[in-house]
Amino acid sequence: RSIAMLRRTLMRWAPPVVRGRVYEHPGAPVITLFTKDECSLCDVVKEVLRAAQPTHKHTLEEVDITAPGNEGWFERYKYDIPVLRLQGKFWIKHRLSPEDAAQGLEEAAAGAFQERPGDPNAESYPNRKPKS
């Protein structure tokens, strides 16, 4: 139990290893997409965000949860990708509608974005099997 608590604490302070910026708009809200290879839902989310870009400027960066250095993010999000964080705060998981994208980005641009409930954490799931 103490190892899991230490991992959660370190993950809060250790930024994820970013795969890279998909695109950038300086000064605009930053969206972090937690993903891994062969994630079709992640591709759909990226399409929704790209479509929103002309009217709702933002920067999109990707974090591969399977990359070295992202073990804590993998343990947290392994069952729930895609996971999106906006301005470093949990925003949404699994799917993103054009309406959700517009609303979140408008809130972030106005400095009013609040973290949404439901930030996944696979380590706390009731049926999770302990590591050997």
30: helix, strand or coil: strand
Do residues 83 and 41 lie in contact, with contact meaning Cβ atoms separated by under 8 Å?
A: no
Is residue 56 helix, strand or coil?
coil
Helix (H, G, I), strand (E, B) or coil at 99: helix
* Model pTM score: 0.82
Radius of gyration, CA atoms only, the chain = 15
Q: Is the pLDDT of residue 132 over 70?
A: no
Residue-wise pLDDT tens digits, 91-113: 999 999 999 999 999 999 999 99
What pLDDT is attached to residue 6?
A: 55
8-50 pLDDT per residue, tens: 555 554 566 667 889 999 999 999 999 998 999 999 999 999 9
